[in-house]
Amino acid sequence: MADSDSSRGDEARTYAKAGEIFDALCDAEGAARSVALERWRAAEPEAARLAERMLERDGTQGSLAFLEDARSSAVQDEHDPAGVLGATLGAYRIERLLGRGGMGAVYLGRRSDPDARVALKFVTLSAVPAAALERFHREALLLARIDHPGVVRYRDSGVDAHGRPYLAMDLIDGEPLSAAVPELGRDVQACVRLVVALAEAVHHLHQRGVLHRDLKPSNVLLRRDARGLRPVVIDLGIARALADAQGHQGACESADSITGPLGFGPLGTPAFMSPEQARTGTHPDVRTDVHALGAILYALLTGHPPRGLDQIPSSDPLEFHRRLQESEARPPSQVVDADVFGASLARERRRVVDRDLDAVLLKAVAQDPEERYGSAEALASDLQRWLQGLPVEAHRIGRLGRLRRLVRRRPAESVLVLGLGALLAAGTVAIVGSRAAQVRARVRYEEQLAISRELNRFFTEGLLQRAMPELEGPQMPVIDLLRAASEKVGHEELPPVVAVSIGATLMEVFERLGASDEADAELERISDVALELDPDDRYRLLFELQRAVLLTRRSEWSAAEQGFLSVLRRLEGAGAPELEARAANGLGHVLLSVGRLDEAQPWLERALELFEGELAETRGGQRDGIWEVWGNLAILRWSRGELEGTVAALEELLSVFEAQFGERSPFGLGILSNLASVELDRLRPEKALVHARRSVDIADAVFEADHPDRLSALNQLASCLSFLGDFDEAIALRREVYAGRLERLGPNNSAVGVALNNLASTLARAGRHAEGREAAERGLDVLLGTLGDANPATASAYLTLAVIEQALGEGEGARALFVDAIEVYEAAEGDHSAAIEEARVHLESLETPGR
Amino acid sequence: MDELSRTLYDEIRSVASVLLRREYRDRSIGATDLAHEALERALRQGAAQGIEREEILRRCARLCRQVLVDQARARGRTKRGEGKRPLSIEVEPAVTDGLGALDLLAVDEALERLSRLDERHGQIVELRFFGGQSMEEIAGILGLSLSAVEKAWRKARAWLELELGEGKRG
């Protein structure tokens, strides 16, 4: 013991001495250093030897590399920056250096069996933490599935001897776009066609969830084929993946630049950057790539990227930043550079680049992403229109603008009507209807007209004016007002049809306000009266319609479906377009909710046809109704994967609602929630979060805690938070949603199953697998029992459980569940390709252990 | 372990499990990631108990190291047999598993030896690698000048490289 203590003491002394020598030698140079070393060798032989060997290791990237912070940089050999020449990595032998840049180097690799040449891209900075590597490989796996002639084909990925990731991709025989400028320069149309092809390739990427983030002329190679020059996008998402792997945020700019001198500005300048990429706290989305596509065409046409960013000296980053952040680009026709193209060509070009093309480009590179094209595809098609000599969209006022104007024209009417549209819907039943029907039942029509006047008076004068907070009158909670109305209906001697009509409406309104018990009581109160009416009586049908609406809101899908169908069958030829439209919309909604998209579509179209046709000129609740149909049609598009169109439709709808009711109206709640969902689907969580927070704020202000619409809003918010990694709050919200729905809807309800699945999925993301498993199993049971095994919600529950089983090490179980998930997704209608892809990636990782 | 350290350890372990979940299971995780996520919570908790910031940072680095090493041990045992030293790392495309884990154990042992030779050097390395701290921060935590920390770091690092390099050959 004493022996080892004393030997440790000696070692410590040697280490300390070696440290002194080390410092001294570091400070000395040349001859002085040799002299000092000689002296130390004589005086302290052991310590001097240690110091010398430590010096050999000084600054090397060896065994510690994987722990090193990326801040330190390795010493690089100019001809072999990654230090891999001649090495064999996986299936590839590294033959020569093709190009290099700030953080990356590209080598030519050869694969022997089958014989193929690839480009291998390396990171040349220090090593990478394993977690980042894993992320990198996952991204590489996704990239490897992208197969499009306009996108470089990724083949493989791996790590080199220093733990640094590399990617293997097809070698493209072509030159960078930047080098081809002189040739393209003569032909504006050719430039536009080229960018159309480029935009189509980029759109393909976007549809597969990949953002490029760093599009610029040096990242586009031109391959010559029979049809001329074809662009091929390289370095997709890789810059970012590599930068992330390095722990460098926002360092994407320097991660590539493998090509020769560019037509525009020095290598590696961020001249093609979008304004939002220079801001902190904003995340790039598809419109960032849209900006880059516009910037590329802008540069091809004018000789410079937008805002003249290539002309700011790199010594002046503040000016660069200011111009990027504050200025809009000038119309390209005004900035064609005669120094680049020569005077006569520049003149010609200023003529060919007309106002339309100016408009398209300015829209594409707008400072505010909101003002740009919503997708690369939209940019491509507008450029296509320009090529064909058609008017471009960039000029046109959208449907939104037209709707806004419509609302401005008819403000007074809409406030009341839309305020509680459902209330008035009952009152308008009698006054709409085709002329034929009116003739067939003239007497009855007169009678109903009288009733409807009475109803309108009852609601608008007696109740509604006081219910609308904007209007003058005592501040009485709506619910109390309605309770009073309900009392009145219960006690007053009213003709059966009036009682049924008011009761049916109250039923719906109570339900909408979250007062399920009162809605049930109302249902109870009037069903006897209603069911005594003739089966074809409008008010009987109205009652049944409202009952089906109520069932829909409680997610009792099959009962609701039966209800709507039965109403629709009896309405055939009855000349009651309002009822028919509402029932068709209701049925469409139910079918959508259970994933029967193809069946839902004709019903929704029928409803729209009625609202836009026979009902277009009638006053009353149809305005409310038509927006519901638009909302449902938007959901239909969404279910089929048309995210872009869905967002546009929902935003339009929202803006119309807000124009009517202000920004804090509960009527926009569902739209906000749906918008949040779609934005999440589009991988834009920040945007989604804004919508979700707003809808929860509104719901908190308007509804009681357990109101179903509030719970839906909470659920949406939880999804956003979970996506963004804020698990604690997300889980708390998930639990609240689950508890609320369980209380209100009972255990065997699909909405409860969905809540369980969501809870499980968030728990899993937070690493709480054991808890997650329990919730996932229960959720799956409920969903199988309620929605069956051809439904996307059920498939999602399989997927959740599978991920959890995988995490808990139950590989076999997980495998089977992933397969189930894929099967169920495939059996369900709609576009579930992203989810299926996710499941496949998981499956693959199970099948190649070690990956 | 005292009370704070125990809470910190649990805290860090739970952060680690979240990070692991994010990166899928069976992966070693970056020390810096771990330290930063844990630190924020640790600082909150420590402040509530009236413990100085420097002290918390120091303990946090120590505990991050412990969590990572515990993890690596557990994995090393199941994957490759206990106690084996890493061989030189052959390149296998797309295989990262175990690589960090076994290296980490070797670093941990070497760091232990370094600490016996010079405790301060050991602390600096620990704060740097496992605490994710910058040189300036380390100087602040240990109450040393920046140049002293930099000098010590350079030596400690060179010694570790030497030690680990020999371990591999041997």
| Cross-chain residue pair A91–B20, CB shorter than 8 Å | no
CB neighbours (10 Å) of residue B52? Answer: 11
Contact at 8 Å (CB) between B163 and B113?
Answer: yes
Question: Does A687 reside within a domain?
Answer: no
Please give the ipTM for the structure prediction: 0.72
Task: Looking at the complex, report in whole angstroms how far the Cα of residue B92 sits from the nearest Cα belonging to chain A.
Answer: 6
Residue A382 among the catalytic residues: no
Q: How far apart, in whole angstroms, are the C-alpha atoms of residue A634 and residue A537?
A: 33
- Identify the top-confidence range among A95-99, B32-36, B73-77: A95-99
Domain CATH for A608: 1.25.40.10
| Cα gap B103→A96, rounded to integer Å | 31
CB contact under 8 A, A156 and B89: no
Query: Does some domain include residue A597?
Result: yes
A388 and A420 together in one domain: no
Least confident of A68-77, A698-707, B9-18, B103-112: A68-77
CA dist., res. A485 & res. A492, Å (int): 10
Q: Given B27, B89, B160, which is nearest A161 (Cβ)?
A: B89
pLDDT bin (cut points 50, 70, 90) of residue A376 is: very high
Residue with the two structure tokens 């927070």: A693
Question: Does residue A199 register a pLDDT over 90?
Answer: yes
> Which pLDDT band holds residue A76 (cuts at 50, 70, 90)?
very low
Say whether both A566 and A479 belong to one domain: yes
Q: With an 8 Å Cβ cutoff, are B117 and A159 in contact?
A: no
Question: CB-side exposure of A425: number of CA atoms within 13 Å?
Answer: 32
Please give the helix or strand (H or E) that residue A170 lies within, else none.
Answer: strand A165-170
Given a cut of 70, is residue A257 above it in pLDDT? no
Alpha-carbon gap: B91 to the closest alpha carbon of chain A (Å): 5
Distance from CA of A279 to the nearest CA of B (A): 23
Strands A220-225 and A175-176: antiparallel
Residue type, B69: V
Inter-chain residue contact B155 with A22, CB threshold 8 Å: yes
Q: Which of A156, A171, A186 is the last residue of a domain?
A: A171
pLDDT > 70 in chain A, percent: 71
> What DSSP assignment string belongs to A57-111?
HTT--STTGGGS-TTS----BTTBTTS-TT-EETTEEEEEEEEE-SSEEEEEEEE
Q: Does B95 touch chain A (CB under 8 A)?
A: yes
Q: Decide if A67 and B18 are in contact by the 8 Å CB cutoff.
A: no
Identify the CA nearest to A304 among candidates A381, A257, A365, A234.
A365
Query: Which has the closest alpha carbon to A507: A449, A552, A465?
Result: A552
CB within 8 Å of A302: residues ≥ 6 apart: A332, A335, A336, A337, A340
Average pLDDT value for residue range B63-83: 55
Segment among A127-131, A661-665, A751-755, B86-90 with least mean pLDDT: B86-90
For residues A450 and A587, membership in a common domain is answered with yes
Are residues A129 and B100, on separate chains, in Cβ contact within 8 Å?
Answer: yes
Using the 3D structure, point to which of A129, A153, A171 is the last residue of a domain. Answer: A171
Residue B11: band (very low, low, confident or very high) from pLDDT cuts 50, 70, 90: low
| Interchain contact, B118 vs A19, CB within 8 Å | yes
Cα distance between residue A733 and residue A714, in whole Å:
6
Q: Do B164 and A133 touch (CB under 8 A)?
A: no
CB contact under 8 A, B21 and A766: yes
B93 touches chain A (CB under 8 A): yes
Q: Are residues A253 and A334 in the same domain?
A: yes
Half-sphere exposure of B61 (CA within 13 A, CB side): 23
Nearest by CB to B129, which of A67, A91, A807? A67
Residue owning tokens 């109740």: A463
Rounded to a whole number, what is the distance in Å from the CA of A825 to chain B's nearest CA? 23
Cβ of A159: how many Cβ atoms within 10 Å?
28
Alpha-carbon distance of A522 to A513, in angstroms, equals 14
Q: Does residue A78 belong to any structural domain of this protein?
A: yes
Structural domain boundaries, residue A772 = 727-851
Out of B18, B22, B96, the one facing A130 most closely (by C-beta) is: B96
CA triple A389-A393-A397, angle to 5 deg: 135
Helix (H) or strand (E) holding A224: strand A220-225
Q: Is the bond preceding A114 in cis, omega lying within 30 degrees of 0?
A: yes
Confidence of residue A361 (pLDDT cuts 50, 70, 90): very high
pLDDT band at A779 (very low <50, low <70, confident <90, very high): very high
A94 plus A179 within the same structural domain: no
Sheet holding A104-111, edge to edge: A88-89, A92-100, A104-111, A116-123, A165-170, A154-159
Two structure tokens written together for A217: 């002329």
Active-site residue (options: A80, A156, A214, A820):
A214
Read off the pLDDT of each residue in A592-616 and give the average, rounded to a whole number: 84
Contact call for A90 and B92, based on CB within 8 A = yes
DSSP letters, A786-830, are HT-SS-HHHHHHHHHHHHHHHHTT-HHHHHHHHHHHHHHHHHSSS
Query: Chain A residue closest to B100 (CA)?
Result: A130
What is the strand order of the sheet A220-225 is part of?
Answer: A175-176, A220-225, A228-233
Name the DSSP class of A227. T
Confidence of residue A3 (pLDDT cuts 50, 70, 90): low
Q: Considering only CA atoms, which of A644, A823, A651, A836 is closest in space to residue A207?
A: A644
3-class DSSP assignment, residue A168: strand
Average pLDDT rounded to a whole number, residues B103-122 = 85
User: Which of B28, B124, B162 has the highest number of chain A CBs within 10 A, making it the mutation to test binding with A?
Assistant: B162
| Residue A739 within a domain | yes
Among A15, A58, A807, beta carbon nearest to B118 = A15
HSE value, Cβ hemisphere, 13 Å, CA-based, for A217:
30
- State the Cα–Cα distance between residues A802 and A797, nearest whole angstrom: 8
- What is the pLDDT confidence band of residue A834, given thresholds at 50, 70 and 90? confident
- Give the count of beta carbons closer than 10 Å to the beta carbon of residue A656: 22
User: How far away is chain A from the Cα of B51, in angstroms, using its nearest Cα?
Assistant: 26
Q: Is the dihedral of CA A478, A480, A481, A483 positive or negative?
A: positive
Q: For residue A502, give the nearest of A457, A465, A562 by alpha carbon.
A: A457
pLDDT classification of A284: cutoffs 50, 70, 90:
confident
Q: Which of A433, A125, A126, A160 is nearest to A254 (CA)?
A: A125
For chain B, positions 15-44, list CB contacts with chain A under 8 A.
17-25, 27-33
| Same-domain pairing of A116 and A260 | no
- Whether A380 has a pLDDT exceeding 60, the answer reads yes
The pLDDT value given to residue A610: 84
Q: Where are the alpha helices (DSSP H) in A167-224?
A: 181-184, 188-207
User: A72 versus A10: which is more confidently predicted?
Assistant: A10
Distance from CA of A115 to the nearest CA of B (A): 18
Rounded Cα–Cα distance for residues A650 and A717 (Å): 18
Find the length of chain A.
851
Please give the tally of structural domains in chain A: 5
Contacting B residues, span 51-80, partner chain A, CB-CB under 8 Å:
none
Please give, one letter per residue, the 3-state secondary structure of chain B.
Answer: CCHHHHHHHHHHHHHHHHHHHHCCCCCCCCHHHHHHHHHHHHHHHHHHCCCCHHHHHHHHHHHHHHHHHHHHHHHHHHHHCCCCCCCCCCCCCCCCCCHHHHHHHHHHHHHHHHHHHCHHHHHHHHHHHHCCCCHHHHHHHHCCCHHHHHHHHHHHHHHHHHHHHHHHHC
- Residue of B2, B131, B95 lying closest to A134 (CA atoms): B95
Tell me what pLDDT residue B56 has: 74
* Residue A418 Rama label (left phi>0; alpha psi -120 to 50; beta): alpha
First CA to last CA distance, chain B: 35
Q: Do B95 and A63 touch (CB under 8 A)?
A: no
CA nearest B126 in A: which residue?
A67
Q: Which pLDDT belongs to residue A621? A: 42
Q: Are both A468 and A573 inside the same structural domain?
A: yes
Q: Which two tokens stand for residue A529?
A: 């009266």
Option in B95, B117, B164 nearest A62 (CB): B164
Distance CA A381, CA A195 (A): 11
Question: Which range in A64-78, A520-534, A795-809 is most confidently predicted, on average pLDDT?
Answer: A795-809
- A12: nearest CB among B97, B106, B117: B117
**CA nearest B14 in A: which residue?**
A767
Q: For residue B128, which of A75, A15, A67 has the smallest C-alpha distance?
A: A67
Domain positions in chain B are: 3-169
Residues 6+ positions from A151 with CB-CB distance below 8 Å: A201, A204, A205, A232, A233, A236
Of A627, A620, A621, A587, which is closest to residue A606 (Cα–Cα)?
A: A587
d(CA A151, CA A198): 9
For chains A and B, what is the number of CB pairs under 8 angstroms?
157
| Residue A77, strand partner residues | A80
Residues A102 and A137 in one domain: yes
Residues in B touching A67 (Cβ below 8 Å):
31, 104, 107, 129
Is A712 part of any domain? Answer: no
Judging contacts by C-beta atoms under 8 Å, the chain B residues touching residue A58 are 154, 157-158
Query: Which residues of B are less than 8 Å from A12 in CB distance?
Result: 116-118
Q: What is the mean pLDDT of residues A443-461?
A: 50
Domain assignment present for A694: no
Residues A378 and A417 both lie in one domain: no
Q: Is residue A410 located within the same domain as residue A390?
A: no
Burial of A484 (0-12, 13-18, 19+ CB in 10 A): middle
Q: How far apart are CA A689 and CA A423, in angstroms?
A: 33
> Quick one: A388 and A262 in the same domain?
yes
Q: Assess if residue A708 is contained within a domain.
A: no
Q: B94 CB near a chain A CB, below 8 Å?
A: yes
Residues of B whose CB is below 8 A from A764 = 21
**Structure confidence at residue B156 (pLDDT):** 93
Which of A662, A691, A715 marks a domain boundary? A662
Whole-number Å distance between alpha carbons of A232 and A253? 19
Contacting residues of B for A807, CB less than 8 Å apart: 21, 24-25
- Whether A693 and A663 have beta carbons less than 8 Å apart is answered as no
Q: d(Cα A109, Cα A171) in Å, to the nearest integer?
A: 9
Assigned domain for A691 exists? no
Asked whether the beta carbons of B5 and B63 are under 8 A apart, the reply is: yes
Q: Which two tokens stand for residue B4?
A: 């704070």
| Residues A104 and A252 reside in one and the same domain | no
CA distance A842 to chain B (A): 10
Q: Which stretch, A130-134, A283-287, B6-10, has highest mean pLDDT? A: A283-287
Q: State whether residue B164 sits within 8 Å of chain A by CB.
A: yes
Given a cut of 90, is residue A756 above it in pLDDT? yes
Residues of B in contact with A132 (CB under 8 A): 30
Asked if residue A422 lies in contact with residue A482, where contact means CB atoms within 8 angstroms, the answer is: no
In a mutational test of the B interface, the residue from A5, A55, A93, A134 whose CB has the highest number of chain B CBs within 10 Å is A134
